Chain A
């Protein structure tokens, strides 16, 4: 059951350039999407989210884009910094995240930002 898919297990970019992490989903009932970042030996930490009624949300260097017709979202990091090197998880919620913390995660993409 792969309702949320991150097809790229890894991504390597140069410091200062843009990182684009992609996520696809199959369930059209998902109404909230989130990105989490995870460093080794730590739990996932919330990065940014987007409601299904929007197509873009921006927070500093991080922007999430949602294309509902394509069931696709992406996370853009501009400019990328070495400290951004981590595993990034895409996650989706069925119930509207204001009421639930039950999330369905993708497999994760390991981002490496080279100095």
Chain B
């Protein structure tokens, strides 16, 4: 089965530092997403991306967050100045229009 690949699997950073989480979606998919799950809480939608632009974003996705598809294959989530409350598992997902959303294995971000 096709896979969404995320790197790194774990990221530890100091508060205030910038982090970039990377994802390689499924190659023929056109819709890309970031979700996150804070420990013990729900999986939450952050942002959707289609046709090289953000199509929708949640309240969580403030000015500290940005997404990019720099080279047609990678899809990145950048957090400019991390806060303690950004610590979470971040999931990338891609969607090909066939009712299934494929998730990556996630990046565990720990902000110290």
* Chain A interface (Cβ < 8 Å from any Cβ of B): 32, 34, 36, 41-46, 49, 89, 97-108
User: Would you call the interface of chain A mostly helix, strand, loop, or mixed?
Assistant: loop
A99 and B32 alpha carbons, distance in the complex (Å):
12
Tell me which residues across on chain B come within 8 A of A100, comparing CB atoms.
31, 48, 95
A98 and B91 alpha carbons, distance in the complex (Å):
21
B91 and A43 contact, CB distance less than 8 A: yes
Tell me which residues across on chain B come within 8 A of A102, comparing CB atoms.
33, 45, 48, 56
Number of B residues contacting the other chain (C-beta, 8 Å)? 25
A36 and B35 alpha carbons, distance in the complex (Å):
14
B4 to chain A, nearest CB (A): 7
B45 and A103 contact, CB distance less than 8 A: yes
Tell me which residues across on chain B come within 8 A of A107, comparing CB atoms.
41-42
* Chain B interface (Cβ < 8 Å from any Cβ of A): 4, 6, 31, 33, 41-45, 48, 56, 91, 93-95, 97-106
Option from B44, B45, B102, B106 in Cβ contact (under 8 Å) with A46: B102
| Chain B CB within 10 A, most for which of A34, A43, A46, A99 | A43
Tell me which residues across on chain B come within 8 A of A103, comparing CB atoms.
45, 101
B57 to chain A, nearest CB (A): 10
A105 and B97 contact, CB distance less than 8 A: no
